[in-house]
């Protein structure tokens, strides 16, 4: 268990399947002060509940396209505000938002109004060649966002979530074809986004072929700055 002395407000970047969700759940276990939001998890819950937003999101997600900036920004900043996460003492981790420079500057503006700011952005740098197989073997528990992989971290009972026993499902965008589009979208938006955060001096990268290699590096980076 790690206790941080300074409030961490972290964004994880990385290609689809690079392990953002995996690292998030490991960090939450290691640092109990931390909470997280994943934009993708929220959208999948909206799709499951067949809300208006869910129906709109489906059309983008099924094609591996990003949702319009204003739509996703409104959704996530509303949650941040409702959770009381806009104050400078709040500690949190964002997975999957911001994804574009427009989203990034909208979030910065909002935080600035509350004298808060994002203070660490870490890119998970994983070789592209290892990712497709991960995605094809992924199963998710939508209500919690927990992710499994048939080889790497299979559920204890096949097809069921470890904690709730509820059924696992495949993501509708976890096919080879849609994955290719998601990767293209990522490559288009990620360089400008990285440049944006490099300018504010809060950007770092951790590299590795597996999540087991990446996790200790990520934790070290965090504790060296916030521990």
Q: Which of residues 15-74 bind Mg ion (CB under 5 A)?
A: 20-21
Q: Mind telling me the catalytic residues?
A: 20, 99, 138, 171, 182
Tokens standing for 55?
């129906």
Query: Mapping DSSP to helix (H, G, I), strand (E, B) and coil, where does residue 169 land?
Result: strand
Q: Which of residues 167-186 bind ligand G5P (CB under 6 A)?
A: 173, 182
Nearest distance, CB of residue 147 and ligand G5P, angstroms: 4
Do residues 47 and 84 touch, judged by C-beta distance below 8 A? no
Residue nearest to ligand G5P (CB): 40
Binding span for Mg ion by CB under 5 A among 13-21, 66-74, 116-124, 204-212: 13-21
Q: How crowded is the C-beta side of 124, counted as CA atoms within 13 Å?
A: 30
Tokens standing for 174?
């976890």
Q: In the set 9, 10, 13, 18, which binds ligand G5P (CB under 6 A)?
A: 18
**Residue 119's binding partner, choosing from ligand G5P, Mg ion, none, with beta-carbon cut-off 5 to 8 A by kind?**
none
Q: In the set 35, 51, 117, 153, which binds ligand G5P (CB under 6 A)?
A: 153
Rank residues 63 and 200 by Cβ distance to Mg ion and give the closer one.
Answer: 63
148 sits near ligand G5P (criterion: CB under 6 A): yes
Kind of pairing between the strands at 203-207 and 120-125: parallel
Q: In the set 97, 196, 203, 215, which binds ligand G5P (CB under 6 A)?
A: 97
Nearest to 23 by CA among 226, 210, 224, 227: 210
Q: Which of residues 198-227 bind ligand G5P (CB under 6 A)?
A: 210-211
Measured at the alpha carbon of residue 152, what is the angle toward residues 146 and 155, in degrees to the nearest 5? 50
Binding span for ligand G5P by CB under 6 A among 29-37, 60-68, 115-123, 193-201: 60-68
Q: How crowded is the C-beta side of 4, counted as CA atoms within 13 Å?
A: 25
Q: List phi, psi (to 5°) of 205.
A: -125, 140
Chain residues binding Mg ion by CB under 5 A are 20-21
């Amino acid at each position: 268990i790690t206790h941080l002395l300074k409030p961490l407000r972290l964004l994880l970047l990385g290609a689809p399947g690079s392990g953002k969700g995996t690292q998030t759940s490991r960090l939450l276990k290691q640092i109990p002060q931390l909470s997280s939001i994943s934009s993708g998890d929220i959208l999948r819950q909206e799709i499951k509940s067949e809300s208006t937003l869910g129906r709109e999101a489906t059309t983008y997600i099924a094609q591996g396209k990003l949702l319009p900036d204003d739509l996703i920004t409104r959704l996530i900043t509303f949650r941040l505000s409702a959770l009381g996460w806009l104050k400078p003492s709040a500690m949190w981790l964002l997975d999957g938002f911001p994804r574009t420079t427009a989203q990034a500057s909208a979030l910065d503006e909002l935080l600035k109004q509350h004298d808060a700011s994002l203070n660490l952005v870490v890119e998970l740098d994983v070789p592209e060649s290892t990712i497709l197989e991960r995605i094809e073997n992924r199963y998710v528990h939508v209500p919690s966002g927990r992710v499994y992989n048939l080889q790497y971290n299979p559920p204890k009972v096949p097809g069921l979530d470890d904690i709730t026993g509820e059924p696992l499902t495949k993501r509708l965008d976890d096919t080879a074809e849609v994955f290719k589009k998601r990767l293209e979208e990522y490559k288009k938006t990620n360089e400008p986004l990285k440049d944006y955060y490099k300018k504010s001096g809060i950007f770092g990268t951790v590299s590795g072929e597996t999540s087991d290699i990446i996790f200790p590096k990520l934790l070290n980076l965090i504790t060296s700055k916030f521990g």
